[in-house]
Structure formats: structure tokens, C-alpha cells
Amino acid sequence: MKIKTGDKVKVVSGHYKGTIGEVKAVSPSKNKVIVEGVNMIKKSLKPTQANPEGGITEHEAPINASNVMIYDGKGKVASRVGYKTDAKGNKVRVYKKNGNEIKGGKK
């Protein structure tokens, strides 16, 4: 999967189209990502000893990775991801639109 945790992405389809957020979690086996502030759902919780009030919580649900594109903050544009080798011979991710190296993202 070309998208990593910590990447900034733009949602390109669905109800949250155009929203820009940071990837909180990635599930390569399911091809899903969780993006901060996108696909919010409400969940009812029963009262427990840890949370005696119970109540309703709101959190992000996973969306398909094909519905997001990595976002270049400097160029203000969403792009696909490519790979190149740098001067040291390491494989690095690059933006397809402008060829700049993608900084950040955790494995």
C-alpha cells in the first residue's frame, strides 16, 4: 500500500469529497485507511465500571484506500504516488504530478 500512517491525504470520492486530513491508521489487508475527521460515525456504549455513564461516542470509520489521494501541501494538489531511488540508492516515494519526494509517513 502506497499510503502510510501520518500522510496528508485528500478524499476524492464519497460524502466527504474534498476533505483533507491526516491518516491515523492503515489496514493493507483490507485496503482501508482511517482519516482524521472523515467518515464520522456514532456508537452507543453501555455503562461499564470504567465508563459508568455510557453514552454515545463519535469516531472515524475506515474508508477504502482508493477513495483518497496523497496531498502535497506545498503544491496544494493531490497526486498519485510513484517510487524512485535517491542518491544513496534508497527507494523513496514521490508525487507523480511534480516528482518531489514525499516527506513523513510511518511504516
CB 79 within 8 A of CB 95: yes
How would you write the pLDDT of the chain (107 residues) with one tens digit per residue?
A: 899 999 999 999 999 999 999 999 999 999 999 999 999 999 999 999 999 999 999 999 999 999 999 999 888 999 999 999 989 999 999 999 998 999 877 76
Gyration radius of the chain over CA positions: 17
Q: Which pTM was predicted?
A: 0.85
What CATH number does the domain located at 8-95 have? 2.30.30.30
Q: What pLDDT is stored for residue 34 in this prediction?
A: 97
**What is the number of helices (H) and of strands (E) in the chain?**
0, 10
pLDDT of residue 107: 65
- Give CB contacts under 8 A, 24+ apart, made by 91-95: 93/2, 95/70
CA 43 to chain centre: 21
